[in-house]
Each structure stands twice: as C-alpha cells, then as structure tokens.
Structure 1
Amino acid sequence: MSDRTDSNSPSILIIGAGFGGLGMAITLKKAGFENFRILEKAADVGGTWRDNTYPGAACDVQSHLYSYSFEPKHDWSRKFGHQAEILGYMKHCVLKYGLSNHLQFNSEISEAAFDESHNRWRVELTCGEILEADVLISATGQLNRPAWPSLPGMERFAGQRFHSARWDHDYDLKDKRVAVIGTGASAIQFVPEIAGKVKSLMLFQRSAPWVLPKPDRPFHSWEQKLFRAVPAWDRLYRSLIYWKNESRALAFTKFSWLLEVFAWQARREARKHVSDPEKFKHVIPDYQIGCKRVLISNDWYPAINQPNVTLITERIERINDSGIVTRGGTHHTVDAIIYGTGFKASEFLAPITIRGRSGVTLDEAWTGGASAFKGIAVNGFPNFFMLYGPNTNLAHNSIIFMLESQFRYILDAVRLLSDRRGTAMEVQGHQQKQYASVIQSGLEGSVWSSGCHSWYLDASGKNTVNWPGFTFTYRWQTRRVDPDDYAFTAPTN
C-alpha cells in the first residue's frame, strides 16, 4: 500500500466496513479508483448490523430507502428490514462489486498520523503493522462503541451481564430473573422478544421514550415480483418513502408544534395497551417529543403491560453481587443484567488517535466540540475525510442518503488529488468556522435544544450529531468540491 501503483491514482485507506466504508469503496471502484484498502477491526463486514444481533434487531427506516440507490433489492421480506437481512444485503454488495480483495479484517487502528514531508498518512495497527496512504477516509460510524453506564459495583455482580450490542446468545434467559437497564432504541426491540421467556423482567428506566406505531408488515410475493418486473415502480416507491420522511424535517427543526400530532398518537397507543395505571403513569415522557430519538414499535407497550414485567423509575444507587439497589434502598435480586444503554455517538473515531499537522490530535482540535466542514473535512488534517461525521445524523430520514452525498463529495476530492499529483488538500480554517456557525445557528430553534438530555449532545451540551435541515439541502451543498474552500500544498520533501 505504501507504493503507488498508478502515479495519478492516490492510494486510499478506508477505516470501517459498514454501510459507509463499503459504499465509499464501491463508489471509488465504479469511478476507476482501485488503489484502496478497507481496514476493519472485526472479522467480517457489517458494522452495527454485524454487532447488534440481539433478538428483534431491525431498522427503523424503510428497507427500500435503507439501501444503496445504485443497488436496489427488490425482494425485501418486510417494509422494515431485520438485522440478518440487512447484513445479508451488505455481504451481497461485497461480492457483487468485488470488494473482497480490498478488505483487511482484524485490523484495528491505534493511531494515524499525517506526514507533512511526504503528504502521506501513516497508519499504525494495534498488531504493530504500519500502512501508508495518500488519503485517509474514516467510516467508523456513530453507533459502533457501546456506552456503559458508570454505576458503583458493576464489576461485583456475580450473575451474567452483557450489553445489548454484544448479545450473549449462549446464555439461556428462559425462566431467569432479568434486569434491563435502559429503555432506548435497542431495548424497545429486544424487551418484547424476551419478556415472554423470562421468569421476571425488571426494566430500569431513567426517562421514558416517545414510541409510535411501526407501519411494518411482510411484503406479499406479488409485491416483490412487481418491484423486480417494473424497476421504475421500485424507484418510485423508494422516492415516495423519501419524500414522506423528508417532510418531517420541518417539525424537527422549525415547527416543533407539529410534533404534537405524533405525541397524541403515542399517548393513544400507550393508553390502548397499558392497563396498569402505575405503569401508564411512567410510560409517557415528560419532555417534548423529538428532543430525544423518537422510536417506533408495535409491541413495546404490550410488553410493558405483561404481569412479569416491572417498570422501575427509581434511580439506581449501586449494583452488588446479587442484583441492583435503587436509591430508596430496595434490593432487586436478578440472575442477569442486560445493558441497553446505547452508544458513544458523540465520540467520533474514538479510541483511534488521529494526528494532523504539527502532531495535533483530532481531540485537541475539537476541544470546543466536534466540528467538520460539511461534516467531512477538518482544518489541520489534510487528505482526511469523514463519513457520517459531525452534524450529519438524521432524526427524520435515511442516513444512507446522507452517506451517498458524502461518497460523491469525497470522490470529487480524490479526483482533484489525482489531477494535482502529490499535493495535500486541507479545508480552510475560516470556511470550517463559518460552516460550523451556520450549523449551530440552525440547531438553536430545533426541538433537540428544548431541554432534554440525549445522545445528540456531547458532554458540554453541544449538539455535534444532528443535521439541522433537509437532506436534499445537504445533497446540494455536497454536489461538488469547491477548490476555493481548500488550500493545496506540495510535500516539503
């Protein structure tokens, strides 16, 4: 990798083999750029869809939209794809587009440093292997590092414990007393799956989620045949989903009062399924809908209503060898603890150390909060591009649409570097600062700034995760690279 096979073709390292890394690789390959390698820390592709194998794992974006626009799948089994089918789709893409020879598994990066004398990135793996490339592209995603709570005595628990993103399939939950900590996106999927199997389920809830009905069902065989026989209908169906989802952006960013319609719907669903008045009192959130991620499920409220499920809202004080002690002193004896506590979404690229010019790390550059020009490029880090970077997450539509916008933008940058052999391109500091200011201004009136604590916010309370607008606006902004936004420098050696 350290030697160019083609003097006009930059060598490229891509970090991560999830939807971002695979899609970027396919985009490069289709454009004629073959000198790339995908570094994956695990033993297979798939990212979050490889890691999250908990019961009931599924997507909350419709299948036809949660897939590459250039690789439609006509035979999705359901409107909302399940984990195994999504992972199968990704593996299909690897085979179809010939990515196998570009993949390097079990290759976790410890550090990447920019060599100014040669305009190259030097990447060190945890195994000690050193790689070099002209361009470094991160595709690590935002939902890849499980977030564990900091609770006294966690390590003392003598029973079984695991995070939902690292599900222990060898442990039989049948007839066990199980505690679930957290009621986020993962919990609302796996809790209904295990509630009927366990002896008792104690659900520890810090704050209730807003949960809407999921308009999901299996596709009929005739529908799948129609999608295949009439590709135009498949594309139109995808487009209809996109525009329906896209219309919700206004409610999240400017007119949050529109979300009250959804709040009414959620309350109605809870009232319909939760007959226990004490439980019902605690399943309706006390914050504005949309401030945290809005969830969709048809079996969450029925699961909570089951007699063997106890909803506990008292804060956890500590964990001991046999269970969980809440603030009032009550001890809850359990055989297993499942942490459904989400991911470290705002800690981009951690724990990898990225060093740019003068050895400055990305963490040092981001002391005021993560920021990137168009969510892709960072001043001080030449020839480094991010997929699913700061402020490119969505609450209303498919992240695949955002990723494809980034694929095209980065491809344009790679083309510029091909035309300017040996140079490095670095986004201008004032451009990044101005862009970040516009993003934060756009977030000020959004529902995400209405006062709740969510994974959209970093430790200082800054929203470094969400995109404050329409996805088609982002697509327009990333349609091409403007060379004036960048400084181009020759190697010093």
Structure 2
Amino acid sequence: MTSGAYAKLDTDARIAIIGSGFSGLAAAIALKKKGINNFVIFEQEAGLGGTWWNNRYPGAEVDLESHIYSFSFERYDWTRTHASWAELLTYLNHVARKWGLISHLRFNEKVEAVTWSDERKEYAIATSSKADHGAFRAVISAVGFLNIPLLPPFARRESDFKGVQCHTSRWPKGLSMAGKRVGILGTGSSAVQVIHEAALEAASVKIFQKEANWILPKDSRDFTASERFMHKFAPIYWWKRFWLYYGYDTRQFRASHARKDGRVNKRRAAASLAYLQNSLADRPDLLKLATPDFPFEARRTVISDTYYDDLKNPKVELVPYGAAKLSAAGIIDEGGHEHPLDIIIYATGFDAANYLAGMKVAGEHGIDLHEKWAGEPEALLGLMVPGFPNFFMMYGPNTNAIPLVTFYQAQANFCASLISTMLKTRRRTIKVDAAAFRRFNQKIQAALAKTVWGSTTSYFQASTGKIVAQWPHSATEYILATKAARKNAVKIE
C-alpha cells in the first residue's frame, strides 16, 4: 500500500454511506474518528435504525446480550439483559446525536444505483427521489443482508383473504392481536418472539411449521436496580462486556461451534436436546413434532425461554404442515385442511443470500456486481470485490457471525483507515488485489466445508448450495485478518 508525504486530508472528497443501522453508524463514526466529515448517509426509511426501525413486531428483541450488542466505545444504561427493539432504537438515536451524525442523514432516500466513472474516479448515486446528489469518492454500503422480506409465493399475489396479513419486519402501526384468531408461519427467531405475545393476548394461535428448529434457553430478564447501578462504573461495564466477548470468541475458535465433531457443538447440541426433552416430557405428541431432523447449528439456532411453554398453551396449536395457499377465510395447509383466521403473520425470514438486492452497482468498465457474482456473492472479508474500486460493504458475504457489532466496528475501521490514507496521499483509488481475493475465498470455502452449514438448506446458502453468509472463525481472527488485509491485499493508487 502506498504511503505519501501529505498529512492533510482532501476535505473536498465526499463519501457516501448507504444505510443507518448499526453498521452504517459504525462506518460514519469511524470516518469521524479519522477526521473525515464530508460524508452523506442515505437511508430509505423515515428514521435511522435499520433492522430496529423495521422490526417492531410484538416481542421483538435481540438474541445477544445488550452489553455485547452495542458499540464498544458507547456505554449505556441497559434495562434488560437482551434489549428490546425500542430500547435499541433509542440507543442508536442517542449514539447518532452524540457523534453529530443527524445532519449527515438523508431520510426517505432509497439508493437504486451506484455507478463508477473510470474517467473521473468517483461514484454517482441514484436514489428514489431522483435528486442530483453529486459525486462521491468512495461508497460504503451498510444495508446488511437481512432486509428484504421473504414471502411465500401465494402471499405475493392478490387473494380473497379478508383479514390482515403482514411480515414481522413490516408490522402495521396499531395492529393488535387481542381477541383475534392468529396464524403464524415459521418457527425461527422472529416467530418464537411473536408467538409468545400472541399466546398472551390472541383468542387462538396456529403455528404453521414446515420444520422444527433447535432451541436453547435465552435467560432474558430485566436488570435489577442494583445491577444497573453497578453498570454505571466503567470497569464493571467493560469487564462484563469482555467476558461476553471472550465466551463467543472461544466458542467460535476453529469453528468448534459449527463442526459436528467440535467440542462446543457437541456440548451445545446436548444442552439443546435436553432442553427440548425436559420441556416437553409431558407432551410426547409435541415432542415428536418439535424435534428437528438436521444437525445442530446447521441452521440458525433459536434462543427462547418461552417457546416450549407456549406450545403447551391450550390456545396454541402446532400445525405439522406448511401453509399451501390462502382462502377467503384463512389458510389451507399442505395437508388440505382449512384454518379460519383473522390475522396472518409471516415470520418467514429474509432473502438473505441476495446481497445488495434492489441496488445496481456498476464498477470499472461498467461491470455489474450482480452479474459478476452470478448468484454466488463473495468478497475479500466481505468488504471488497475486484473491479469495484472505493466500494466497500459492511456485513457483506461470509461475515455473518457473532458478536455482530464487533464485526461492524472492524469493518468500519478497515474502510475508514483506507479512505483516510487515500485522502491524505491525494490518491484516487482503493483496489483489492485479485489474487488475494481468490486465495481468501478458496480458503474460506475450504473451512466452511468442514462445518454443518452445508448439511441442510438455509439462508446461509446461495441457490446453488454454496455457503455465502457464514464466517467460520472467531471475531478476533476476523479483526486480525482485516488489519492484515489493509497492508497486504489492498492497493491505493
């Protein structure tokens, strides 16, 4: 990587960030820390927050502990071990205000195209408003990959159903389940949360299950007053965060959590099976239906304290079929049975493997990023692709791992450091080395082949079966890899 004699930043160069969730704010703050203030954050929604702006369904909360699912540089007075969507949204707004990011935000601006100019060495951005946003020296995409709701084919067409339909990530304002007959499609992480709320207030709940999932207890609760008082002391707060990080890091070392012969995988699989059997020992009918038929961790493991108890609630019925189609009255399942319903909730996840869906990205010589990927997204550390200079991705291909915010910060530091060097040295392009890109993806796929993630279909995979979402190592290994890549796999010219 080239170093130069200039120390002062090129302040005329503008940077674009797409998305204002955790990763977008991480990128913006990393730029600020480098003294880069000439940037714009494009946000397609009416407010910041990303996932936590959209996912407002009843019971929505994070699966990771609040102290680790937050920025390492921003302590907060968390009220729960696992924060709700509302508390996370409040936190993100607090962070944005504290770091002076509000003035950089452009709301209701969905980015539709990012186009590189070979002559000018800069990007043009087209948004839904059709406004002229000027040129940008670099672009950081922070749109994530769990943002395009995935609906069953019959839900994408007009139907005669008279009730309310919604995806969990598009919950209608004011929608109440009280006294209603509610049908829920799915048994994943979002499903179990909304199922619990429905079991509390709905007249009846029907869960349409295609396949059961492995579940572990969450141990989610409110912090006591004394705990919140102690968390005000920085050493105690950071110690708590460190031990959470250490636990996740050691768990994922050499993919021990995702290899069938891994010590961590075996231990957690046994714990999950025991939780299932102990919880449903008095209901052999439910035990049979709730037992998965794929290896532990092959799909996202569900974390819940309530799901098995909810299954035993007299108001709740676990339907052992997926939904086949809609009728005027409700749902007809794959067994041919009709279920009258007032509300249908699609907890059916996202089109996760389709990275940067809905956005056209054109690089050198007009090459299209989606055409280059040909349905199998890949990047160097999820961050950069040859042929697309000065274009970075947060939470890109093969970077889905925990703790998520730690990965966002490492990615943000990678982007900001390279952009800062480019602006200080008055260079024009940041490019990833094609050979380094190939070597990395060969190694990552070799590591992924040793895991259980390819043993069943899931959102971890492209339609071809290639694992395009997961990172098979620990967070510390990822952080070190980003530091090495800045020196050895990227050129600034």
Provide the TM-score with structure 1 as the length reference: 0.93
Q: How far apart are the structure 1 equivalents of 2:371 and 2:302?
A: 34
Corresponding residue for 2:154? Answer: 151
Corresponding residue for 1:339? Answer: 346
Within 5 Å, give how 1:49-198 maps onto structure 2. 49-73=52-76, 75-131=77-133, 132-151=135-154, 155-156=158-159, 157-198=161-202
Q: What do the CA deviations read for 1:125-182 (whole angstroms, capped 9, x no partner)?
A: 1111132200000000111111112237853122110001111242332222111111
Which is further off, 409-418 or 36-45?
409-418
Corresponding residue for 2:471? Answer: 467
Structure 2 gaps, min length 5: 1-7
Matching residue's letter, 2:228: Q
| Alignment check: 8 A CA contact 1:182 1:205 kept | yes
Shift of 1:348: 1.2
Aligned equivalent of 1:34, options 34, 37, 55: 37
1:300 aligns with 2:304: no
Corresponding residue for 2:426? Answer: 421
Q: How far apart are the structure 2 equivalents of 1:412 and 1:172?
A: 47
Structure 1 gaps, min length 5: none
Q: How far apart are the structure 1 equivalents of 2:417 and 2:176?
A: 51
Aligned equivalent of 1:17, options 9, 20, 32: 20
Q: How far apart are the structure 1 equivalents of 2:490 and 2:371?
A: 21
Q: How far apart are the structure 2 equivalents of 1:113 and 1:350?
A: 15
| Alignment check: 8 A CA contact 1:252 1:447 kept | no
Corresponding residue for 2:437? Answer: 432
Matching residue's letter, 1:459: S
Q: Between the two proteins, what is the percent identity of the paired residues? A: 32
| Alignment check: 8 A CA contact 2:375 2:462 kept | no
Shift of 1:215: 2.1
Aligned equivalent of 2:364, options 357, 363, 384: 357
Corresponding residue for 2:272? Answer: 266
Aligned equivalent of 2:50, options 43, 47, 51: 47
Q: How far apart are the structure 2 equivalents of 1:226 and 1:364?
A: 53
Matching residue's letter, 1:181: L
Q: How far apart are the structure 2 equivalents of 1:33 and 1:334?
A: 54
Q: SS at the partner of 2:200? A: coil
Q: What do the CA deviations read for 1:352-403 (whole angstroms, capped 9, x no partner)?
A: 1111111111101101510111110111101001111110111xx3111111
| Alignment check: 8 A CA contact 1:203 1:312 kept | yes
Q: What do the CA deviations read for 1:201-260 (whole angstroms, capped 9, x no partner)?
A: 11001111111111222222222222213x112111110111112222143244346423
Q: What's the RMSD between the two structures over aligned residues?
A: 1.8
Matching residue's letter, 2:67: H
Gap change, CA 1:213 and 1:184, over 3 Å in 2: same
Shift of 1:9: 5.6
1:321 aligns with 2:328: yes
Corresponding residue for 2:5? Answer: none
1:216 aligns with 2:223: no
Q: How far apart are the structure 2 equivalents of 1:71 and 1:311?
A: 42
Q: How far apart are the structure 1 equivalents of 2:44 and 2:224?
A: 38
Q: SS at the partner of 2:184? A: strand
Gap change, CA 1:483 and 1:477, over 3 Å in 2: closer
Q: SS at the partner of 1:186? A: helix
Q: SS at the partner of 2:317? A: strand
Q: How many residues align?
A: 480
Q: What do the CA deviations read for 1:71-93 (whole angstroms, capped 9, x no partner)?
A: 111x2111111111111110000
Provide the TM-score with structure 2 as the length reference: 0.93
| Alignment check: 8 A CA contact 2:80 2:220 kept | yes
Matching residue's letter, 1:284: T
| Alignment check: 8 A CA contact 1:146 1:163 kept | yes
Q: What do the CA deviations read for 1:100-125 (whole angstroms, capped 9, x no partner)?
A: 11111111111110011000100011
Q: How far apart are the structure 1 equivalents of 2:323 and 2:95?
A: 44
Within 5 Å, give how 1:268-287 maps onto structure 2. 268-274=274-280, 275-287=282-294
Shift of 1:8: 5.1
Moved over 4 A (4+): none
Q: How far apart are the structure 2 equivalents of 1:120 and 1:488?
A: 14
